[in-house]
């Protein structure tokens, strides 16, 4: 995620970050401008055709396309914001579980095990959502060595299983009462609820037909626009059509990027930083 000062207008206007849509669409912008110039030459110099009221149709279609893109962007941002709320819940629940364990349990070895497991769960969830699951990155202990995590299909579940096992052992040896077990269960359950909610976002993209329809409409809108625009604007239609292509394609690119907010793109959620925050907080509380 890119960190920036939203009040620094001039720097933001003239900055060209590697994720900026202008960089990504620049070849297309140049291509559209050249295409518009070619259409102008053919209409004015070769075919010598004239059209009347050529802007009306594109004005109407542009209004409809704008509504579609607004809905598309809002849907993508809603997924991004829901993902941020879920990871905020990860932060709160990790702290709450660590604080409760610290208050209830007196055995420092048990506290250390929970510190390791809570941090491991967040790391496993982060890597799982980024398709980078690697058990070798998890912290190990004598009770849960690397071999425990080696054979897995869903790494967060393996870590959650260990936390539930620890709680059950504490209950069986009398270190937890029934009330305290219920007291801890809320946070334990929330971990699985959160990863399930993230998976729902990640594995449920915008419907294919809707996605491809918008791209087709943008393509048809932009590549038919020069036919009429050159009659009114002559060669000035080249920067005008290129600008419109940049605006519409950029909106679609931004929506594509933020609809899956758990990756490594510049506009994705800072889940790496969130993991480091959780790890530091839990370690401070329990170790």
Q: Is the pLDDT score of 21 beyond 60?
A: yes
pLDDT band at residue 3 using 50, 70 and 90 as cut-offs? low
- Residue 67: predicted pLDDT: 86
Position 231 scores a pLDDT of 80
Asked, for residue 278, whether it belongs to a domain, the answer is yes
**Rounded to whole angstroms, how far apart are CA atoms 182 and 190?**
13
* Three-class SS of 198-225: HHHHHCCCCCHHHHHHHHHHHHHHHHHH
Q: Is the pLDDT of residue 7 over 70?
A: no
Task: Give the per-residue pLDDT at 286.
Answer: 93
Q: What is the mean pLDDT of residues 154-167?
A: 94
Is 97 domain-assigned? no
Q: Domains in the chain: how many in total? A: 1
| Residue 160 reports pLDDT greater than 70 | yes
167 token code pair? 């709680």
pLDDT, residue 224, reads 86
Q: Exposure string (b/e) for 94-127, b if CB count within 10 Å is 16 or more?
A: bbebbebbbebbeeeebbebbbbbbbbbbbbbbb
Domain that holds residue 194: 113-204+271-286
Q: Is the pLDDT higher at 10 or at 22?
A: 22
Q: Considering the domain boundaries, does residue 237 fall inside one?
A: no
| Residues 61/172, Cβ–Cβ less than 8 Å | no
* Cβ atoms within 10 Å, residue 241: 24
Give a yes or no: residue 9 inside a domain: no
Mean pLDDT along residues 61-74:
86
| 99 is a domain residue | no
In a domain, 154, yes or no: yes
> Is residue 222 domain-resident?
no
Higher pLDDT, 281 or 52: 281
pLDDT at 134: 87
Position 216 in a domain: no
């Amino acid at each position: 995620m890119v960190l920036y000062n939203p009040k620094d207008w001039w720097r933001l206007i003239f900055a060209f970050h590697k994720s900026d849509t202008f960089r990504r669409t620049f070849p297309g912008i140049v291509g559209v401008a050249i295409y518009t110039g070619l259409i102008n030459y053919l209409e004015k110099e070769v075919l010598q055709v004239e059209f009347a009221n050529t802007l009306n149709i594109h004005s109407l279609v542009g209004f409809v396309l704008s509504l579609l893109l607004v809905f598309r962007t809002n849907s993508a941002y809603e997924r991004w914001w829901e993902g941020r709320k879920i990871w905020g819940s990860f932060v709160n629940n990790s702290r709450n579980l660590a604080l409760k364990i610290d208050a209830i349990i007196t055995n420092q070895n048990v506290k250390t095990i929970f510190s390791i497991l809570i941090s491991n769960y967040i790391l496993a969830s982060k890597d799982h959502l980024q398709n980078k699951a690697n058990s070798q990155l998890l912290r190990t202990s004598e009770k849960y060595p690397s071999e425990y995590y080696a054979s897995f299909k869903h790494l967060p579940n393996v870590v959650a299983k260990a936390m539930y096992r620890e709680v059950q052992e504490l209950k069986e040896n009398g270190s937890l009462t029934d009330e305290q077990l219920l007291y801890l269960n809320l946070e334990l359950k929330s971990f699985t609820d959160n990863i399930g909610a993230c998976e729902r976002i990640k594995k449920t993209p915008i419907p294919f037909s809707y996605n491809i329809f918008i791209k087709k409409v943008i393509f048809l809108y932009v590549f038919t626009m020069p036919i009429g625009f050159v009659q009114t604007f002559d060669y000035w239609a080249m920067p005008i059509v290129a600008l419109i292509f940049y605006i519409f394609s950029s909106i679609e690119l931004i929506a594509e990027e933020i609809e899956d907010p758990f990756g490594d793109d510049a506009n994705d959620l800072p889940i790496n930083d969130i993991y480091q925050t959780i790890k530091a907080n839990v370690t401070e509380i329990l170790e």
